[in-house]
């Protein structure tokens, strides 16, 4: 049986997973809107709207890279995003409904992504990447503690 603090923690993690899953589903849908569109023209429009210097090498590089993106790349990116969004939503709903399988699923999935997130932080440091890494490590640590406590309580062992 879970205590009130554990339940609250699981609900917060579930809400976080639901929010991330919904945001990723929105992004995946947004990516699909660019299939069969002129990405270069869209990027050039935004360069103009944002009053960016068209001669800036970063803007030139961006426009060149956008020109290399094909519909199949967008479709693949969207598909992968939808699959990951579904996984996040499954974790979130399961945690919100206090399902033990969701706790295990969240530990496995979140822990499996930590090496990739760590690599990203080392190679391309950014506060957002670092924050995501720290949050996911905290989630894994917390869920492992909860699962261990539940297992010892279930088997009548002292915690």
Range(s) of the domain holding residue 148: 99-159
**Residues 107, 89 share a domain:** no
The DSSP call for residue 69 is -
Using one digit for the tens of pLDDT, what is the confidence trace for 28-82?
999 999 999 988 888 888 888 998 888 888 888 888 888 888 999 999 999 999 9
**Residues 63, 141 share a domain:** no
How far is residue 111's CA from residue 103's CA, in Å, rounded to a whole number? 12
**Residues 91, 141 share a domain:** no
**Residues 89, 152 share a domain:** no
Please name the residue that has the structure tokens 């399902």.
99
**Residues 135, 104 share a domain:** yes
Overall pTM > 0.85: no
**Residues 62, 27 share a domain:** yes
**Residues 44, 21 share a domain:** yes
| CB contact at 8 A, 21 and 86 | yes
- In the three-class reduction of DSSP (H, G, I as helix; E, B as strand; rest coil), residue 146 is classed as helix
**Residues 87, 104 share a domain:** no
């Amino acid at each position: 049986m879970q205590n009130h603090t554990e339940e609250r923690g699981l609900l917060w993690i579930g809400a976080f997973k639901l929010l991330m899953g919904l945001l990723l589903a929105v992004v995946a849908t947004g990516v699909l809107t660019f299939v069969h569109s002129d990405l270069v023209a869209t990027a050039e429009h935004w360069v103009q709207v944002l009053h960016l210097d068209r001669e800036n090498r970063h803007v030139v590089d961006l426009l060149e890279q956008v020109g290399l993106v094909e519909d199949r790349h967008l479709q693949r990116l969207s598909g992968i995003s939808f699959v990951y969004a579904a996984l996040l939503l499954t974790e979130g709903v399961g945690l919100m409904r206090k399902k033990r399988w969701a706790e295990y699923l969240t530990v496995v999935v979140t822990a499996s992504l930590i090496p990739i997130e760590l690599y990203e932080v080392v190679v391309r440091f950014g506060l957002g990447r670092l924050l995501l890494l720290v949050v996911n490590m905290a989630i894994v640590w917390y869920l492992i503690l909860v699962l261990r406590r539940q297992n010892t309580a279930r088997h009548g062992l002292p915690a």
